[in-house]
Structure formats: C-alpha cells, structure tokens
Amino acid sequence: MKTLLRSSLALPFALPCLLALGCDTESDDADALPTDACVPDDGGACGPSGGAGGSGGEGGQAAGGTPSDAPVISVIWEGPGADMPNDDDSVTVAIDDGEGTHTYHFGLAETGSANGWYGEDCLPGDMNGKDVCHDVGAEGEVISSVSRASGVNDGNTLLWRASADAQRLTYVVIQVDTDRCWTFGDDPTYYSDSLLGCSPYDSPVGP
C-alpha cells in the first residue's frame, strides 16, 4: 500500500510519484497483478476471495457525517457479481452539485484486501505501471470492469462488483477546480489522512 503524506493538494494527475515502504512498484510484466486482482495469461481468472454474488454491496459510512455543502454522490455497481473479474460488471458514478460547473475525478482502492489493488486510487505512485484517476466530468460516468491491468484507463477499472459486495473498496470523489474531496467506503482514513485530506461522506454504494 502506498504511504500517505499530508500536504496541499495538486491535481491528482500532476502529483509527483512518491514510493512508500512496502509499496508495490511496476513489475517487469505490467499485467502481473497481486493475488487478489489478476487474470492469468492462459485465460483463467483469479480475484479477491470471499466476495459473494447477488445484491450490490453497501459502502461503509464514515464518522462525522456528510458536509452540508457537499455534492450528492452515488456509486452504483452492476453486473453478475461473480467472485472473479467480469467484463459484464460496471460502476456508475453520479454527481449532482446543483451547479454543473465543477468537474470531478473518481478514485477507488481495495483497502479491505491484504493484496488489494491501488492502481486507481488518485494518490501518487503507480501499481503495476498504473496510476489512474478517473475523469468523470461534471455529472459522473459509467466505468466498465476489465480483467487485466493493461486495460485500466479513465473508462475502465480492474475492480468489479464482488469487491463492492464484500465491502472491500474505499472511494474518493475530487472536485478538481476547488481541490475539495470526499471519501467513503471500507476505510475513509485512507483518503482523509492522505495528502488529499478528504472529508468523510455518508454515501450508499449498491445496486
């Protein structure tokens, strides 16, 4: 996991790469993933253990409550919910700030897994060659699940619905033009104690 340093926020894509003790750095094989987030080259699949299919998972609620001036945020996972990477899975991020004049970035980290995926967490440093912070525009976006790290980009995530069902994910929404951000899910301190300094947000995550 990346070491989290507190400082003033710059745009996520412009932050310098900070390597932390115990951090997973880019390997010789850019698609070689941690045990809980990989698909072998022979076409088989492996993924986080313990996530059951069925109804979408609900993210944890952070202590402190949602700031009164925060936008309305929802994160909806869709798909079969199988405990493996599934190209039929997707996550819909919806944001309503009442103005439509702000733009947002969305990040997620598999904080609830010992070998979790952090290549899309909007914090400095890469994992398996990926350092993605999803641009979701002014109102949100649909992000599709993929089964290989090489496919991760603004519109694709390596994470899938089973991880959300098992409440292993922590999320962040960043208001790019103001540097404000909100966090919710498994471990909000992952972002509130980071250089982003995000506010906790009581947000449902589910079907």
Measured between alpha carbons, how far is 137 from 74 in angstroms, rounded to an integer? 14
Counting the structural domains of the chain, the total is 1
Residue-number span of the structural domain to which 178 is assigned: 49-58+70-207
Q: Is residue 44 part of a domain?
A: no
- Strands 104-109 vs 134-137: parallel, antiparallel or unpaired: antiparallel
Q: Give 79-103 pLDDT, tens digit per residue.
A: 886 666 567 899 999 999 998 889 9
Q: Is residue 65 part of a domain?
A: no
Phi, psi of 57 (to 5 degrees): -80, 155
Q: Is residue 82 part of a domain?
A: yes
Q: Is residue 174 part of a domain?
A: yes
Q: Give 159-197 pLDDT, tens digit per residue.
A: 999 888 889 999 999 999 999 999 999 999 999 999 999
Q: Is residue 40 part of a domain?
A: no
Q: Is residue 190 part of a domain?
A: yes
Q: Is residue 142 part of a domain?
A: yes
pTM: 0.69
Q: Is residue 118 part of a domain?
A: yes
